[in-house]
Amino acid sequence: MTNTESSLPGVRFIGSGSAVPDRVLTNQDLAQMVDTNDEWISSRTGIRERHIADGENDSVANLAAKAAQQAITAAGLQPENIDLIILSTSTSDDLFGTAGRVQKILGAERAVAFDLVAACSGFVFGLVTASQYIRTGVYKNVLLIGADVLSRWVDWQDRRTCILFGDGAGAVVLQSSSQNSLLGFEMRSDGKGNDLLNINYLGRSTFHPITMNGQEVYRFAVRRVPEVIEKSLHHAGLEVNDLDWLIMHQANQRIIDAVVNRFGIDPAKAVSNMGKYGNTSAASIPIALNEWVKADKIQKDNLIAIAGFGAGLSWGSAVFRWG
């Protein structure tokens, strides 16, 4: 199966943006809250600090809208040019969905807006979903946002999980084009691993905070992520050495290092910023993408593979050219 058919409208990536809360929580701060220390956290995860939502201003909707407005401006568009808004989030401000609030803040009055829930694979799954609407000719300008405020759902007394997560949002604008830049993708789910990572409904309008089997999730990621990257490259007719950049979900530096070693690629090509942000779930890939674009490291026509993985279990990869 190939993901690209030349007679269909293509997908171009024309802008990016990101936003994180101002408040920073360092590993030293965490050591005051639970029995942990900077050395344990940074050597096991690569995370040194994370941004944490502080009140209403840092809602999913507000962070998502900030990232989205940047992406729309970078794309040279206005909010009213957007046809479709997909908000990938697992931490909605409202269980009925948050995309409508984002639409309202932006003033993207022509758009249809909905949420997509696929945990830390949300940005990859959202990208593939968005691309289907463009490839079929239904929509021209699509805003894709990954935004999560997992700090709301962390048990701040559980040292096994509270050290990992941070809050933020990232966005891209995709546009219909005669050239197709989304060259390949692959998405996977395995519900047999569903109980490895959860925020479960407890009853009477309450949810249990995050529970995770860290070792099993680690093993799953190291085994499955390289497979899915290889599949999406195969669909694109490319090889790993063709890549300019690999942007994996920013969960753990050791997972990135394991994938880099497995492929034998230059570690400098593997984007990493989790030291500053922790695991921001659906936001981690677009935050990293935007940071590398803004720093002029990612250049027009650079070949990028992204890979997300997490609860579901779900995992996926996409290969595209930037700009």
Confirm or reject binding of residue 188 to ligand COA (CB under 6 A): no
* Shortest Å distance, C-beta 310 to ligand COA: 3
Size of the site for ligand COA (CB under 6 A): 18
Q: For ligand COA, what does the binding mask look like between residues 294 and 313, x meaning CB under 6 A?
A: ----------------x---
Q: Is 120 a catalytic residue?
A: yes
Task: Count other C-beta atoms under 10 Å from residue 56's C-beta.
Answer: 9
For the packed helices 60-74 and 99-106, what is the interaxial angle rounded to 10 degrees? 50
Q: For ligand COA, what does the binding mask look like between residues 194 and 223, x meaning CB under 6 A?
A: ------------------x-xx-xx-----
Confirm or reject binding of residue 275 to ligand COA (CB under 6 A): no
Confirm or reject binding of residue 154 to ligand COA (CB under 6 A): no
Looking only at residues 78 through 117 of this chain, which bind ligand COA when binding is defined by CB under 6 A? none
Q: Which helix (DSSP H) or strand (DSSP E) does residue 50 occupy?
A: strand 49-51
Confirm or reject binding of residue 40 to ligand COA (CB under 6 A): yes
Strands 84-88 and 49-51: unpaired
* Shortest Å distance, C-beta 213 to ligand COA: 8
Confirm or reject binding of residue 45 to ligand COA (CB under 6 A): yes
Confirm or reject binding of residue 26 to ligand COA (CB under 6 A): no
Q: What is the C-alpha to C-alpha distance for residues 30 and 50, in angstroms, rounded to an integer?
A: 10
Q: What is the C-alpha to C-alpha distance for residues 233 and 32, in angstroms, rounded to an integer?
A: 45
Q: What are phi and psi of 201, to 5 degrees?
A: -70, 130
Secondary structure class of 114 (helix, strand, coil): strand
Strands 167-177 and 141-149: antiparallel
Cβ-proximal residues to 74 (8 Å cutoff; 6+ apart), any chain: 14, 15, 16, 17, 173
* Shortest Å distance, C-beta 281 to ligand COA: 7
Task: Count other C-beta atoms under 10 Å from residue 204's C-beta.
Answer: 5
Whose Cβ is closer to ligand COA: residue 62's or residue 91's? 91
| Chain length of the chain | 323
Confirm or reject binding of residue 160 to ligand COA (CB under 6 A): yes
Among 23, 44, 48, 262, binds ligand COA (CB under 6 A): 44
Q: Please tell me which residue in 120, 141, 162, 252 is annotated as part of the active site.
A: 120
Q: Is 249 a catalytic residue?
A: yes
* Shortest Å distance, C-beta 223 to ligand COA: 12
* Residue nearest ligand COA, CB atom distance: 214
Beta bridge partners of 85: 113, 143
* Shortest Å distance, C-beta 31 to ligand COA: 9
Residues 37, 98 contacting (CB under 8 angstroms): no
Q: Which pair of structure tokens corresponds to residue 130?
A: 């968005």
Confirm or reject binding of residue 59 to ligand COA (CB under 6 A): no
Class of residue 1 by CB neighbours under 10 A (exposed 0-12, middle 13-18, buried 19+): exposed
Tell me which residues are annotated as active site: 120, 249, 279
Binding region for ligand COA (CB under 6 A) = 36, 40-41, 44-45, 120, 159-160, 163, 212, 214-215, 217-218, 251-252, 279, 310
